[in-house]
């Protein structure tokens, strides 16, 4: 029984790692990889859907699967002298990545504060938009400002 459970976990992990590159045919790819039927793969896919790890879009022939975003943040901040990167980190970003290992969090805090600091001090923009998207396999951050850009500054 433990061996079957372990194989099921391997199959579901494979689905999660391949789903972004193969949203329309992840079931076929998984069936080929593990030598199982598509019906067996579909049971694993349904379990991942029930766990809200993935979501289905479309129906029948147009069906595709995607990682479910369980945390999404999009926040706009005016670029003023009162905007401070460490305050934004503590209040808005750190709570979203609290469970990451400490060495990974250190990279996050450094990258985030440096990028936001650059937007504040060098962009000559009016606002900065911060987006964070978290799925079961990854956490991504985007920081965009409406400033003039680095190539006009050089």
Tell me the per-residue pLDDT of 41-56, one tens digit each, with 9 for 90 and over. 999 999 999 998 999 9
Tell me the per-residue pLDDT of 31-86, one tens digit each, with 9 for 90 and over. 999 999 999 999 999 999 999 899 998 877 788 999 988 878 999 999 998 999 99
Give exposure, 64-86, as e/b (b: 16+ Cβ within 10 Å): ebebbeeeeeeeebebeeebebe
- Burial class, 30, CB count within 10 angstroms (exposed 0-12 / middle 13-18 / buried 19+): buried
Q: Is pTM beyond 0.75 here?
A: no
CATH classification (class only), 2-67: mainly alpha
Pairwise CA distance, residues 87 & 73, whole Å: 16
């Amino acid at each position: 029984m433990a061996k079957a459970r372990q194989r099921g976990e391997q199959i579901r992990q494979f689905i999660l790692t391949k789903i972004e590159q193969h949203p329309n045919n992840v079931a076929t790819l998984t069936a080929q990889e593990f030598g199982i039927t598509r019906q067996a793969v579909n049971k694993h896919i349904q379990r991942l859907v029930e766990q809200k790890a993935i979501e289905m879009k479309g129906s029948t022939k147009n069906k595709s699967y995607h990682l479910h975003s369980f945390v999404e943040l999009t926040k706009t901040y005016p670029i003023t002298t009162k905007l401070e990167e460490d305050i934004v980190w503590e209040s808005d970003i750190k709570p979203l990545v609290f469970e990451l290992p400490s060495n990974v969090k250190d990279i996050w805090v450094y990258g985030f504060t440096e990028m936001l600091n650059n937007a504040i001090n060098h962009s000559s923009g009016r606002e900065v938009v911060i987006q964070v998207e978290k799925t079961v396999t990854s956490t991504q951050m985007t920081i965009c400002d409406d400033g003039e850009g680095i190539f006009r500054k050089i």
